[in-house]
Amino acid sequence: MDLDQHPDALRWNKRYADKLEAGSASRVLRENLHLLPARGKALDLASGLGANALLLAQQGLSVEAWDISRVALQRLQDRAQTEGLLIDCQQHDLRSHAPATNAFDVIVVSYFLQRETLPFLAQALKHDGLLFYQTFSQLRTDNSGPDNPDFRLKDNELLKLLPQLKLRVYREDGLCGDVDKGWRNEVSYIGQKSKSP
């Protein structure tokens, strides 16, 4: 099938057709820029309009942005050129195109959850590589994000899905304490690949 005719591509192309601004990079990335390597290769996976890719490129990393939406990738490419940033935009469907093993120093994923791809992401990291991940939790205090629980993580689920990475940062406030404060409805995670003992 031509990827442009894939139902997901058609749906996301329509969604991005009138959206011009990339918005903000994910909070887990913005608040942890100090963990990034000084140089290296980064992947913004399911990049959309590329807020994460733009921030990674501004930090001096060599960046690839992957998404199924050609519309989103073209908008990202245009903005990157305007800002003088080099970002390699590639149209991929992760169900049929996994990143190569030991290919990236940094991978960032925001609001995209395909559980079956997580082992491939861990394998795609180079030694000492970092996975920045932020998405929705099933423990929610409002109606933000998708209703389908398949697209939301269960309590502490991400820790179980990525046992091969060393935990560096994790935040999941859940429904504990004053639910009007803190980081609710989402999970943030940074894991690091290390050599096998």
**Is the residue at 28 inside a domain?**
no
pLDDT at 197 over 50: no
The whole-angstrom separation of Cα 47 and Cα 54 is 10
**Is the residue at 153 inside a domain?**
yes
What is the extent of the structural domain holding 97? 3-16+37-192
Q: Residue 157 CB: number of other CB atoms within 10 A? A: 16
- Look up the CATH number of the domain holding residue 177: 3.40.50.150
How many domains does the structure of the chain reveal?
1
pLDDT digits (tens, 9 = 90+) for 23-67: 889 999 999 999 999 999 999 999 999 999 999 999 999 999 999
- Can you give the three-state secondary structure of the chain, one letter per residue? CCHHHCHHHHHHHHHHCCCCCCCCCCHHHHCCHHHCCCCCEEEEECCCCCHHHHHHHHCCCEEEEEECCHHHHHHHHHHHHHCCCCEEEEECCCCCCCCCCCCEEEEEEECCCCHHHHHHHHHHEEEEEEEEEEEEECCCCCCCCCCCHHHCECCCHHHHHCCCCEEEEEECCCCCCCCCCCCCCEEEEEEECCCCC
pLDDT at 131 over 60: yes
pLDDT at 130 over 90: yes
**Is the residue at 119 inside a domain?**
yes
Whether the model clears a pTM of 0.85, i.e. scores above it, the answer is: yes
